[in-house]
Amino acid sequence: DAGVIQSPRHEVTEMGQEVTLRCKPISGHDYLFWYRQTMMRGLELLIYFNNNVPIDDSGMPEDRFSAKMPNASFSTLKIQPSEPRDSAVYFCASSSYNNEQFFGPGTRLTVL
């Protein structure tokens, strides 16, 4: 398996623009997680899905953030409109029944 795939790897955008981050989990994994990592706040769980259904979105910072999982092999995290304070590395991870999470390489987002 290719592991968790994230795209793009780097994204530079201007404040106010819409940003969409993409994730393909490992085949057969039924949990998918979105994290954000910054120097100031460390690793934060934003939202996670089980069998494509959002289970806990309490970590989503505000309404500008939204996440979807239309099928078992694809998820998106959208920020609209983006702000400079959204600059961070965003990770996607997936897991199966035993809690072991496999992380993608991350998307480094810079909002100017």
Contacting positions for other proteins (CB under 8 A): 4, 31, 33, 42-43, 45, 48, 50, 55-56, 91, 93, 95, 97-106
List the one residue out of 88, 98, 83, 103 whose CA is nearest residue 26. 103
In the complex with other proteins, the residue whose CB is nearer, 9 or 85, is 9
CB of 34 to other proteins, least distance (A): 12
Element (H, E) at 49: strand 42-50
CB of 19 to other proteins, least distance (A): 19
CB of 98 to other proteins, least distance (A): 7
In the complex with other proteins, the residue whose CB is nearer, 23 or 79, is 23
Length of the chain equals 112
Q: Is 9 exposed, middle or buried (0-12, 13-18, 19+ CB in 10 A)?
A: exposed
